[in-house]
Structure 1
């Protein structure tokens, strides 16, 4: 019966880097069920950052980036012999399980994530993450805009008012009403990332009778990301 399985032999190209992008399913409803604080809930993002760290460790990722309920993993060592069904199903289920484990609450309905695979060349890694970080900024502006409008108008009125506004309109509107998005926490504007950093270790070399500096890598969760640039990704050795 093996031959009846759909796409079971479909694999990603060998020796390629891939990005796995995960999105929460119906998280607008989940946010209502969990009574999340709008426009940003600190506890939710603490949980998502821990999920990203779990993904980083479990799948030996090079870089993990998140904003809202979206997570992107950059993988150099492709798991499961590149089998697409296996990669998507296991990583999506692992993400949902990690989310439930760290949230430590009763859910009205089990949360779920979908998963998609994006083969990528090294030269396109920066462009991909800049694209997602730009979306993080749009999400920040829109979230603050609709949250403020709903504090003044009904949901229907608020949704109608924001429809005709572009990002600069919303930004200016918020500023006129005492909300300066430049003062918003960095992670709300630029997202959160997990990657490896090196820390300096000073030890004593008995043979040479002197202190010696070495470096040890560790997993770092970055809540203060810069605007993504080639220099940033080179510094953390994600690109050469």
Structure 2
């Protein structure tokens, strides 16, 4: 009967770098059910960061990036021998479970994430994450814009007004009304990154009777990401 399984043997080619992207399913409805603070709910972002840390520790990607309800994981070596069905199903399930555990709320409906695999070349890694970070900025401007307009107009009127505005127009509207997006927290504009860093550890070597310096890696959650560039990804060992 195993022959009846669809795509069970489909694998990512060996030695391929891939991105696994996870997205929250119907999180607009979930945000209403949880009564999240608009335009940004700080607890929601703390939970998403913790979910990303759980994913990093469980599956060992080289870099994780998140904003809103989206998570992108960059892999050099895929788990499950690169089996696509296994990767998508387990990672989506693990992410959903981690979200429930870390949020600790009474959900009206079980939250869920979907998963997709994106093969990627070394030269395209920066472009991918710049694309997602640009989307994070767009999301930031639009979220603050619609939140401001809904404080002045009905929901329908606010939606009609913002739908006809360009990003720079929303930014200017906010600025003219005392909301400077340059002053808000970095993670709201640029997202959150999780990667390994090294820390210096000084210990005493009894055999040689002297202090000895070593370096140990640890999982670092970066709430102050720069605008993505080659130097950043080189510094964390993602590109050469």
TM-score after normalising by structure 2? 0.98
- Alignment of 1:118 with 2:107, yes or no, is no
Greater CA deviation, 36-45 or 195-204? 195-204
Q: Which runs of 5+ in 2 are unaligned?
A: none
Q: How does 1:175-190 map to 2 (within 5 A)?
A: 175-190=175-190
Per-residue deviation, residues 107-144 of structure 1 (Å, max 9, x unmatched):
00000001000111122111111110010000000000
Q: How many residues align?
A: 240
Per-residue deviation, residues 172-194 of structure 1 (Å, max 9, x unmatched):
00000110000010000000011
Quote the Cα distance in structure 1 between the aligned partners of 2:132 and 2:66.
Answer: 9
Q: How does 1:92-111 map to 2 (within 5 A)?
A: 92-111=92-111
Quote the Cα distance in structure 2 between the aligned partners of 1:216 and 1:122.
Answer: 26
Offset, 1:212:
2.1
Greater CA deviation, 43-52 or 114-123? 114-123
Q: Which runs of 5+ in 1 are unaligned?
A: none
Quote the Cα distance in structure 2 between the aligned partners of 1:139 and 1:29.
Answer: 17
- Alignment of 1:12 with 2:50, yes or no, is no
Matching residue of 2:149 = 149
Offset, 1:213:
1.6
Offset, 1:205:
2.8
Matching residue of 2:134 = 134
Quote the Cα distance in structure 1 between the aligned partners of 2:139 and 2:85.
Answer: 30
Quote the Cα distance in structure 1 between the aligned partners of 2:195 and 2:55.
Answer: 11
- Alignment of 1:47 with 2:47, yes or no, is yes
What secondary structure is seen at the aligned counterpart in 1 of 2:221?
strand
What secondary structure is seen at the aligned counterpart in 2 of 1:53?
helix
Matching residue of 2:212 = 212
Quote the Cα distance in structure 1 between the aligned partners of 2:190 and 2:202.
Answer: 34
Offset, 1:167:
0.8
What secondary structure is seen at the aligned counterpart in 1 of 2:216?
strand
- Alignment of 1:230 with 2:226, yes or no, is no
Quote the Cα distance in structure 1 between the aligned partners of 2:224 and 2:131.
Answer: 18
Quote the Cα distance in structure 2 between the aligned partners of 1:65 and 1:96.
Answer: 17
Quote the Cα distance in structure 1 between the aligned partners of 2:35 and 2:176.
Answer: 28
TM-score after normalising by structure 1? 0.98
Offset, 1:4:
2.0
Offset, 1:206:
3.3
Matching residue of 1:198 = 198
What secondary structure is seen at the aligned counterpart in 1 of 2:151?
helix
Per-residue deviation, residues 83-107 of structure 1 (Å, max 9, x unmatched):
1111101000000000000001110
Greater CA deviation, 94-103 or 207-216? 207-216
